[in-house]
Structure 1
């Protein structure tokens, strides 16, 4: 069946498929390293949002809540908490531990806006960060199970914007 298309058509199909994959993996204005940098890096350019986040957002102190409960949790339960309450847990540049990466021990800007390394390195290229939030972006952490268990509802503006 493979040969019924003829070699020229198969070659053209292969070249087009490779081109689609290559072009689709290149992001506008830079790379997509997926690296996290921490909320403080956002504050360098977005000072008002940073100050509001630190002052008003519960997310800015989410690591403290996890620390309080940590002694009563298994490693698996703790890792599950880290996914939503820490910035970039298990991902390049993200939270590793309270001792090793204390600057990532909160649900910082990048939890909602995505990894910021490429955005920061490009001088603020807006296409390298999630700018307009939708409720579906919140549902990774604020899913129905967690809303029912903890009565936490997503706040799109979360005290920062």
Structure 2
């Protein structure tokens, strides 16, 4: 009897796990990321400047250009620097979380769900430091890279 109960428990657990993979991560895990278009609802001018002048706003294009030459594992290595929130409850795949493709507002300012729901500025990072940029803009990731940021250059 105990063996049957254990077997049934394992089968149910496997089914639930499989089902959870099929659900959008935003729903299944309550993603704290909302995407840049959600930010644009209140921060129109910042979003417009970002969209018009920042390469970050279109960083996913580089991934799509390289995709056919890369193996899936190699392609995933691009996600950390070319999407928003990858590996942190944000971007999962272009099919499941297309609103988080590209380097969006939340890459620098942090997950925006609470801020977008309440408007409370304490729920978002407002003082951005160079440390946030160095996660991707460093010589280990990009050979011969000499990153010299200008204050708000190409951002907003």
TM-score (normalised: structure 1): 0.70
Residue of structure 1 in register with 2:43 after alignment:
46
Q: Which runs of 5+ in 2 are unaligned?
A: 1-29
Misfit runs of 4+, over 6 Å: none
CA–CA distance in structure 1, aligned partners of residues 140 and 68 of structure 2: 23
**Partner Cα distance (1:90, 1:74) in 2:** 19
In the alignment, structure 1 residue 130 sits paired with structure 2 residue 125: yes
2:57 to 50, 56, 60: 60
Which of these residues, 29, 33, 38, is aligned with residue 36 of structure 1? 33
CA RMSD of aligned residues (A): 2.0
CA contact (8 A) 2:54 2:155 kept: yes
1:84/1:111 contact within 8 Å kept: no
Report the count of equivalent residues.
Answer: 126
TM superposition shift of 1:79: 1.4
Q: Give the 3 Å change call, closer, same or farther, for CA 76–154 of structure 1 in structure 2.
A: farther
Task: Name which of structure 1's ranges 67-76 and 38-47 shifts more when overlaid on structure 2.
Answer: 67-76
**CA distance in structure 2 between the partners assigned to 1:39 and 1:151 by the alignment:** 27
Moved more, 46-55 or 135-144: 135-144
Point out the structure with max Rg over C-alpha: 1
Say if 2:84 is the partner of 1:111. no
SS of alignment partner, residue 94 of structure 2: coil
Q: Secondary structure at the match of 1:144?
A: coil
Per-residue CA shift, 1:9-54, capped at 9, x if unaligned? xxxxxxxxxxxxxxxxxxxxxxxx8711000011011100000111
- TM-score of the superposed pair, with normalisation by structure 2: 0.72
Q: Partner residue of 1:70?
A: 67
Q: Is the 8 A contact 1:89 1:96 kept in 2?
A: yes
CA distance in 1, matches of 2:75, 2:146: 18
Q: Give the distance between the partners of 1:115 and 1:109, measured in 2 at CA.
A: 9
Distance 1:106 1:158, change over 3 A: farther
- Asked if the contact 1:119/1:126 (under 8 Å) is kept, the reply is yes
